[in-house]
Amino acid sequence: MNKPVGITMGDPCGIGPEIIARAFAAGLPAEAVVIGDARIMRDTIDALGLPLKVCSVRSTEEAVAASGVVPVLVISDLPGDLPIGRVDGRAGRASYDYVVRAIDEALAGRIRAIVTAPINKDALKTGGLDYPGHTEILAERSGTGHFAMMLANDELRVILVTIHVSLRDAIGLVTQDAVFRTIDLAQKAGNAYGLASPRIAVAGLNPHAGENGLFGREDLDIIAPAIARARQLGIDATGPWPGDTVFMRARKGEFDIVVAQYHDQGLIPIKYLGIDSGVNVTIGLPFVRTSVDHGTAFDIAGQGKADPSSLRYAFDQALRLTAV
């Protein structure tokens, strides 16, 4: 537990460097090392006028916790003309390299967990990398076949059957096996939070969970059998419940985690409660990974306006998950 938490810097043109600097300035409760670019962190700290000093390290083992010091494992040396607040392929490529190095460090057991600052999908693509987000990079690099994105705050935990695909494609990807695997991962997520038998609510795909087939048969023919399979294994899963009320019921304490069928079904309730207190957790990986629940915010990057609250929440959740 005395190993550092690895914080990836995210897209250098976004608010990642700023929220990391502000989090260090406010004080972190455990040792941490930034995986990124020392010059950019130094320039960000200077621009914000924070009482911090950047210390470049060659390995995570060299990172030593000290007040006012930001250890940076140097992965890139980007030029000074990088356009802050704009898509740039060099930044996209660098942000990918930071994540890859963090994964390798985690797999080798040299860091306690990974906390990721936001990356930009357009910048990745401009840099020649075709990934829809962090989750897919993490799964590919770690060789993880079954994984899911979970978003959580103090009031809700939501795990997704489908993630970064079109709504049309998501409907086709809601299969019995996919729903069952996500319920199983929801069980593991609850266990990771210290719940021996988490109460798992499964949201329906169609309005009113299909209304007994009146609004589509996916809930009857696909989702309900997946829930039955899970229950046969002793998992406390129920549903399918109508998507327009299940999150409210979970928020009131009736359920510990909700399985949502597609991206916006699950993320809108979480983000409506406030992105500053939300955290993204990838379930199924061989290490703990948490992330901020917001994007690169190019519109305010470099202006000193970024709020580090979500990053600090993600850091705290990483510590909680590694302590169970």
pLDDT in tens, 281-296: 999 999 999 999 889 9
- pLDDT for the residue 195: 93
Structure tokens at 133: 């987000």
> Does the pLDDT at position 227 exceed 80?
yes
Number of domains in the chain: 2
| Range of lowest pLDDT (61-70, 97-106, 186-195, 261-270) | 61-70
The answer on 110 and 191 residing in a single domain is: no
Structure tokens at 23: 């989090």
For the chain, what percent of residues have pLDDT higher than 70? 98
- pLDDT for the residue 70: 97
As a whole number, mean pLDDT of residues 43-66 equals 91
The answer on 80 and 32 residing in a single domain is: yes
The answer on 112 and 2 residing in a single domain is: yes
pLDDT in tens, 200-211: 999 999 999 999
> Does the pLDDT at position 255 exceed 80?
yes
Q: Is residue 280 part of a domain?
A: no
As a whole number, mean pLDDT of residues 217-226 equals 97
The answer on 105 and 229 residing in a single domain is: no
Q: How confident is the model at residue 279 (pLDDT cuts 50, 70, 90)?
A: confident
> Does the pLDDT at position 276 exceed 80?
no
The answer on 117 and 206 residing in a single domain is: no
The answer on 263 and 163 residing in a single domain is: yes
Q: Is residue 279 part of a domain?
A: no
> Does the pLDDT at position 34 exceed 70?
yes
> Does the pLDDT at position 198 exceed 70?
yes
As a whole number, mean pLDDT of residues 270-280 equals 78
Name the residue range of residue 14's domain.
Answer: 1-145+285-324
Q: Is residue 194 part of a domain?
A: yes
Q: Is residue 69 part of a domain?
A: yes
Q: How confident is the model at residue 101 (pLDDT cuts 50, 70, 90)?
A: very high
Contact in structure between 75 and 96 (CB atoms under 8 Å): no
- pLDDT for the residue 278: 76
CATH number, residue 161: 3.40.718.10
The answer on 199 and 318 residing in a single domain is: no
As a whole number, mean pLDDT of residues 19-38 equals 96
Q: How confident is the model at residue 324 (pLDDT cuts 50, 70, 90)?
A: low
Neighbours of 132 (CB within 10 A): 13
The answer on 323 and 237 residing in a single domain is: no
The answer on 135 and 164 residing in a single domain is: no
Choose one of 252, 273, 294: the last residue of a domain.
273
Q: CA angle, corner 297, sides to 291 and 300, nearest 5?
A: 135
Q: Is residue 93 part of a domain?
A: yes
The answer on 28 and 103 residing in a single domain is: yes
Instruction: Give the span between the Cα atoms of 47 and 54, in whole angstroms.
Output: 13
The answer on 311 and 248 residing in a single domain is: no
- pLDDT for the residue 185: 96
Average pLDDT of the chain?
A: 94
- pLDDT for the residue 1: 56
- pLDDT for the residue 272: 87
Q: Is residue 169 part of a domain?
A: yes
Q: Is residue 278 part of a domain?
A: no
* Residue in the block written with tokens 């499964």: 202
The answer on 118 and 3 residing in a single domain is: yes
Instruction: Give the span between the Cα atoms of 57 and 38, in whole angstroms.
Output: 9
Q: Is residue 243 part of a domain?
A: yes
